[in-house]
Structure 1
Amino acid sequence: MKRRNFIKFGALTAFTSCSTIKPHVYQPTREGKTVNDFFDVIVCGGGPAGIAAAVSAARSGAKTCLIELYGCLGGVWTTGMLSNIIDHNGKLGIMAEILKRLDSTKAQLQNSIYDAEAMKLVLEQMCAEAGVHVRLYTRIVSSIIKGRRISAVITESNSGREIWKAKCFVDATGNGDLSALSGCNFDLGHPVTGKTQPLSLMAIVMGINKEDLIKEKFINGNASSSDNKINLRKEIEKLGFSPSYGIPTFFAIRSDLIAIMANHEYNVSPNNAQQLSDATIQARSEVNKIVNGLRSLHGIWENMRLVATGSQIGIREGRRIKGIYTINKEDMISGARFEDAICRATYMVDIHSLDYNKAGYTTDGINVKPYDIPLRSLIAQDVDGLMMAGRCISGDFFAHASYRVTGNAVAMGEAAGVVTAIASLSNKMPHEVTWISVSEALKSIRR
């Protein structure tokens, strides 16, 4: 195993950027009204990473605000109805707490599959208990940069255009929206083709029993194995077409509540609203076609009905914002260890086929050894006072295909919340916070 060191270990001030800040979208004539409250930390995006960042920042003593686009917290967990938490094993702190709370409400099976409605309530309760100021139905549209430092974000909502000021900010938007609007450099897509991983629209069905799915070998326990997925594809092909996702998958949330992922939308830019719109409409049409088609086969499918599809199509890959350090393929292959490690990722390289392929996904021949995610990959290279958490952190295409899953996103958010809290309360920038202070704070909340 190789070990990466700081240029000067002890503080995160060793990095000096020569990058030029790109112009950001800012319209002084439409500046809007300033929100009266001044926050220590503002977290943009209320998905798994954003929730953890906001809760950990607030619990660390920072006056914290969480801004979310949709009408609930949880992101891909809830609006996306993902129904399965990947790479959460061995992660303590907020990740373990969420699992414990879900388990106490009987909303969780086998420690990873969960009920999205119960998840919404759990996350809202955690934010309320921590004292996080939550604003839903609000979109980040710009930011204010003074020199190299971000001093405010600008939002639009039913309340109009508003300015939100804070000492530090966390971009947990998934697609790195805040960072891009602030002029940060980023990478997007495959290094050769530029293509991004396909999107998937999750769905929930009822009227079919988990025991019947097990008996007919479409599911194994509470989820589909490789053979089960092939069996389901062959069943769908009896309808005269193949699903766009070559290995459609079931997750049994409850004995009579089943999640299904059978859809892929290829060559869609996560930064193009029209492409996202078209992909979502097409995906929802396909999901309905599959469910209605299976019901026409009678047997175990006879009473199956579509209960809901995700309010947000699942986006696997967006911008990867440039940070102080970029996690790369070699780090995974070698099982890299870092002195500023915030968590250890164990998930495989999971590249969903960039074009239709019945195999569904590939590892690109990369054998992952458990590797560390360093704090430096969460600190923006081009803008001071800004951190990233979740799949928009600094990494190459291949590493992103491993660390992007939500178990890791929670650990990233937890660390970003701690760092921004320490920085704001001591009037420092995140890159000026010493690693020892971060390490001690994380140890105290991960006991």
Structure 2
Amino acid sequence: MTISELGRRVPVVGEYDVVVCGGGPAGVSAGLSAARNGAKTLIIESEGCLGGTWTAGQLCVILDAHGKGGIMQEITRHLQTSDGHLPRPGRGKYTYDVEMMKYTLDRLCDESGVDVRLYTRVVSAVVEQREIKAVITESYGGREAFIGKAFIDATGNGQFAAQAGCDYSVGHPETGQTQPATVIGIISGVPSDEPGTMNTQDKLAFLELLESVGFVPSYRKPSLWRLPHPDLCCISVHHAYEVPCDDTAALSRATMEGRKQLNEAVRALRQLPAWRQVRLVSTSAHIGIREGRRIAGRYQVTVDDIQSGARFDDGICLVRFGVDVHALTRQEDDEVTSYSQGITVRPYNIPLRALISKDVDNLGLAGRCVSGDFFAHASYRVTPNAVAMGEAIGMAAAKAVSSGVSLPKVDGSQIRRAMMAAGYEI
């Protein structure tokens, strides 16, 4: 059964040099970079805050920030000077205060002259002859259009690129299965002598503690991270398996189940005398999705690249993070002892070409949806790499507009040099 909508005219409410779809770590970075390079820039974000998985998703932890200068370093320094930062063992790892992260991103965008539309979802792309002319959105103001000269998909799931007709891949190459989704909680009242989980051994000990009070988590390596405020911790006990990024019904069920499991975990922990004061303070407003569409770009980052430590003339950052494939099924979560899949990562570059759509000449990509295979994605998907991608493609988009050329014609080696000058190790 279908319903036909009458043809309607959509009002154009803004014209920009660069339009960024998605305001998470990659999107904010792309917007800041484009604006600071002289482009009139808009960020469109569906949630009520910037930050995506950092804020609405309450991820609470930063990994692989070492060697990331530029905007990533700027964000880190803002958090450090605002008591919103707590280092973790290892280089480039820390937890952060979610509300301070929201405020930091708001400030940076405001100071850089980036226009921001919250509560606004991208629903369609107007494409003519391999170029996007406008993005169609839905918001409390109804259906609206924004015209742009260059566009960047930083939606995480590659939603806008798919709407523009771009080719993409999803999931494991043999099964199509995607990594599980997770609802994360913030709790208070954790015993003061509880350090949290620093490694796999700690996670297994936390699993044993949870099971000792009758709670069996769907995530078999549950995590507990101390946050900058001494009374708060981030807790992760939930895995939702086989939930496609575009299946709203499945995502709704998974989100509600995640909240249920967090409440049950906290209720169970209260049985322990030392944990009697534990309370669930908040749950993520948006379920954390580890994997969505991987959009086809001018280059695909592969497992061979990450194993060989590939370097490129247009490399925009250095990725050190290992392959992190969370179990694709509950059975695997019970049986698999390592997320690395036996793949050893040598520090490697992400080339600018992987951030440019092969199908649309004025569409850039940043974050989880860039062009890579299943295993490469499992390495570069952590957020400091998304920030680096956003900074690089935002700069490239601004240069494309100012020079009157298409994105593929931007000199990638020039972007590489600019990223190095900003403090990125390459």
Contact 1:40 1:63 in 2 (8 A): yes
1:164 to 130, 146, 160: 146
Distance 2:382 2:421 in 1: 25
Q: Percent identity?
A: 47
Partner of 1:324: 298
Distance 2:139 2:86 in 1: 37
Distance 1:131 1:384 in 2: 26
Distance 1:31 1:295 in 2: 57
Contact 1:334 1:369 in 2 (8 A): yes
TM-score of the aligned structures, taking structure 1 as reference length = 0.90
- Deviation at residue 438 of structure 1 after TM alignment: 2.1
Q: Does 1:294 align with 2:275?
A: no
- Deviation at residue 440 of structure 1 after TM alignment: 4.1
Partner of 1:417: 394
Partner of 1:434: 411
1:130 to 107, 112, 115: 112
Contact 2:313 2:413 in 1 (8 A): no
Question: SS state of the match for residue 230, structure 1?
Answer: helix
Partner of 1:29: 7
Partner of 1:15: none
Contact 1:31 1:161 in 2 (8 A): no
Q: Which has the larger displacement, 430-439 or 92-101?
A: 430-439
- Which amino acid in structure 1 is aligned with residue 194 of structure 2? L
- Which amino acid in structure 2 is aligned with residue 40 of structure 1? D
1:391 to 359, 368, 377: 368
Deviations 1:176-221 (A, max 9, x none): 0000000000000000111000011110000123x3213xxxx2xx
Distance 2:307 2:419 in 1: 27
Q: Does 1:333 align with 2:307?
A: yes
Question: SS state of the match for residue 306, structure 1?
Answer: strand
Q: Does 1:264 align with 2:239?
A: yes
Which runs of 5 or more structure 1 residues have no equivalent in the other structure?
1-26
Which runs of 5 or more structure 2 residues have no equivalent in the other structure?
88-92
Partner of 2:90: none
The CA RMSD over aligned residues, in Å, is 1.5
Partner of 1:352: 326
Partner of 2:193: 212
- Which amino acid in structure 2 is aligned with residue 29 of structure 1? G
Question: SS state of the match for residue 143, structure 2?
Answer: strand
Contact 1:419 1:433 in 2 (8 A): yes
Distance 1:102 1:352 in 2: 29
- Map 1:165-244; keep pairs closer than 5 Å: 165-209=147-191, 211-214=192-195, 219=196, 223-244=197-218
Question: SS state of the match for residue 353, structure 1?
Answer: coil
Relative to structure 1, the CA distance from residue 31 to residue 370 in structure 2 (aligned partners, 3 Å threshold; closer, same or farther) is farther
1:93 to 57, 70, 77: 70
Distance 2:273 2:202 in 1: 17
Partner of 2:17: 40
- Deviation at residue 255 of structure 1 after TM alignment: 1.7
- Deviation at residue 141 of structure 1 after TM alignment: 0.1
Distance 1:397 1:160 in 2: 37
Contact 2:297 2:357 in 1 (8 A): yes
Contact 1:352 1:360 in 2 (8 A): no
1:274 to 226, 249, 253: 249
Partner of 1:285: 260
Aligned pair count reads: 412
Distance 1:163 1:177 in 2: 17
Relative to structure 1, the CA distance from residue 31 to residue 446 in structure 2 (aligned partners, 3 Å threshold; closer, same or farther) is farther
Distance 2:416 2:194 in 1: 46
Partner of 1:368: 345
Question: SS state of the match for residue 292, structure 1?
Answer: helix
Contact 2:317 2:419 in 1 (8 A): no
TM-score of the aligned structures, taking structure 2 as reference length = 0.94
